[in-house]
Chain A
Amino acid sequence: MKNLIQLIASLASVLILFVGVMPVQAETSKYGGWLKIITESQPKVFGYPSQAGHRDHYYMQGCLEHLLDFDKDGQTIPKLVTSWDISSDKKSITLHLRENVKFHDGTDFNAQAVKINLDIVRENSKNYLKEVSSIDVVDTHTVVLNISEYSESIFNTLASRPGYMISPTALENNSAEWAKTHPVGTGPFKFVKYERGVSMEFVKFDDYWDEGKPYLDGMKTFIIADKMAQLAAFRTGNGNMLRLVQPKDAAGLKEEGYEISANPGIVKGLAGDSKNPSSPYAKKKVREALEYAIDKEAIVNALGFGYSKAAYQDAFPGTFAFNSDIEGRRYDPEKAKQLLTEAGYPNGFKTKIIARGTLWKNVWVAVQGYLSDVGIECEVDLADQARYVDLKFKGWKNALMEVDIGYRPNWILSINHHLADRSSDHSSMLRPAGFDVVIDEALRTGDLKVHTKVGQELGMMIYQDATFAPLFTWYKTGALDRVNDISLNYPDQSRWYPGQAWLSK
Chain B
Amino acid sequence: MVSYLIRRLLQAVLVLIIVTFVIFTLMRVLPGNPILMYVADDEINEVTPEELALLEHQFGLDKPLHLQYIEWISNVVRGDLGTSIVYRSKVIDEVSSALPKTLHLGALAFIISALIGIPAGVISAVRRGTWLDTIMTTCANIGIAVPVFWMGILMIYLFGFHLRWLPIFGYVSPFEDFWLSTKHVIMPAFCLATFTMAAAARQTRSSMLEIIRQDYIRTAWAKGLGEFSVIMGHAMKNALIPVITLMGMHIRIIFGGAVVIETVFSIPGMGRLAVDGIFAQDYAVIQGCILIVAIIVTLSNLVIDLSYGFLDPRIRYN
Binding site for B on A (CB under 8 A): 42, 44-45, 51-55, 125-127, 161, 177, 180, 195-199, 222-226, 228-229, 232-233, 235-236, 238, 384-387, 389-391, 393-394, 417-418, 420, 422-425
Contacts and interface: CB of A to CB of B under 8 A. Distances in A.
B87 A44 contact: yes
Enumerate the 7 nearest inter-chain pairs by beta-carbon distance, A residue then B residue, closest first.
Answer: A197-B268, A386-B32, A54-B41, A386-B281, A423-B45, A387-B32, A53-B40
A224 B267 CA distance: 9
A70 to B, nearest CB: 15
Interface in B114-147: none
A198 B32 contact: no
B272 A197 contact: yes
B164 interface: yes
Contacts, number: 126
18 contacts: A44-B88, A53-B41, A125-B43, A127-B43, A196-B94, A197-B266, A222-B170, A228-B156, A229-B169, A232-B156, A232-B168, A386-B32, A386-B281, A387-B30, A389-B44, A390-B31, A393-B33, A424-B44
Contacts of A180: 88
B245 interface: no
Given A199-B170, A386-B32, A387-B32, A226 B40 contact: no
A223 B272 CA distance: 12
A391 B44 CA distance: 12
Contacts of B221: none
Interface of B: 30-34, 36-37, 40-48, 51, 86-88, 94, 97, 153, 156-157, 160-161, 164, 167-171, 263-266, 268, 272-273, 276, 279-281
Contact of B45 (A45, A228, A394, A424): A424
Nearest to A416: B45
B87 to A, nearest CB: 6
A384 B279 contact: yes
Contacts of B43: 125-127
Contacts of A228: 153, 156, 264
A80 B15 CA distance: 59
Contacts of B266: 197-198, 222-226, 229
A475 to B, nearest CB: 21
B179 to A, nearest CB: 18
Contacts of B272: 197, 225
Contacts of B94: 196
A165 to B, nearest CB: 18
A161 B168 CA distance: 33
A387 B281 CA distance: 9
Contacts of B48: 424
B164 A236 contact: yes
A198 B44 contact: no
A238 B42 contact: no
Contacts of A424: 44-48
Contacts of A195: 268
A197 B266 CA distance: 7
Nearest to A393: B36
A403 B31 CA distance: 20
Given A54-B41, A424-B45, A424-B46, A384 B265 contact: no
B279 A226 contact: no
Contacts of A127: 42-43, 45-46
A417 B161 contact: no
A232 B157 CA distance: 7
Contacts of B44: 389, 393, 424-425
B46 A389 contact: no
B44 to A, nearest CB: 6
B82 to A, nearest CB: 16
Given A53-B40, A390-B33, 6 more contacts: A126-B46, A196-B94, A229-B265, A389-B32, A420-B45, A425-B45
Contact of B279 (A54, A224, A386): A386
Contacts of A389: 32-33, 36-37, 44
Contacts of B170: 198-199, 222
Contact of A51 (B32, B37, B40, B279): B40
A224 B160 CA distance: 14
A209 B222 CA distance: 89
Given A197-B272, A224-B169, A423 B37 contact: no
Contact of A417 (B33, B45, B87, B281): B45
Contact of B42 (A44, A161, A196): A161
Contacts of B86: 44
Most chain A C-beta atoms within 10 Å of own C-beta, residue among B30, B43, B273, B276: B43
Given A390-B36, A393-B36, A393-B44, A198 B268 contact: yes
Contacts of B40: 51-54
A422 B279 CA distance: 28
Nearest to B171: A198
A275 B245 CA distance: 60
Given A196-B97, A226-B264, A232-B161, A385 B47 contact: no
A42 B42 CA distance: 18
Most chain A C-beta atoms within 10 Å of own C-beta, residue among B44, B156, B266, B276: B266
Nearest to A226: B264
A389 B268 CA distance: 25
B34 A386 contact: yes
A229 B280 contact: no
B268 to A, nearest CB: 3
Contact of A226 (B33, B37, B263): B263
Contacts of A393: 33, 36, 44, 47
Nearest to A228: B153
Contact of B280 (A197, A226, A386): A386
Nearest to A40: B266
B37 A386 contact: yes
Given A127-B42, A226-B266, A424-B47, A232 B32 contact: no
B263 A225 contact: yes
A236 B276 CA distance: 27
A390 to B, nearest CB: 5
A229 B37 contact: no
A11 B266 CA distance: 59
A19 to B, nearest CB: 43
A44 B32 CA distance: 20
Contacts of B168: 224, 229, 232-233, 236, 238
A239 B45 CA distance: 36
Contacts of A423: 45-46
B42 A53 contact: yes
Nearest to A389: B36
B31 A387 contact: yes
Nearest to A357: B279
Contacts of B279: 384-386
Most chain A C-beta atoms within 10 Å of own C-beta, residue among B37, B88, B169: B169
A477 to B, nearest CB: 21
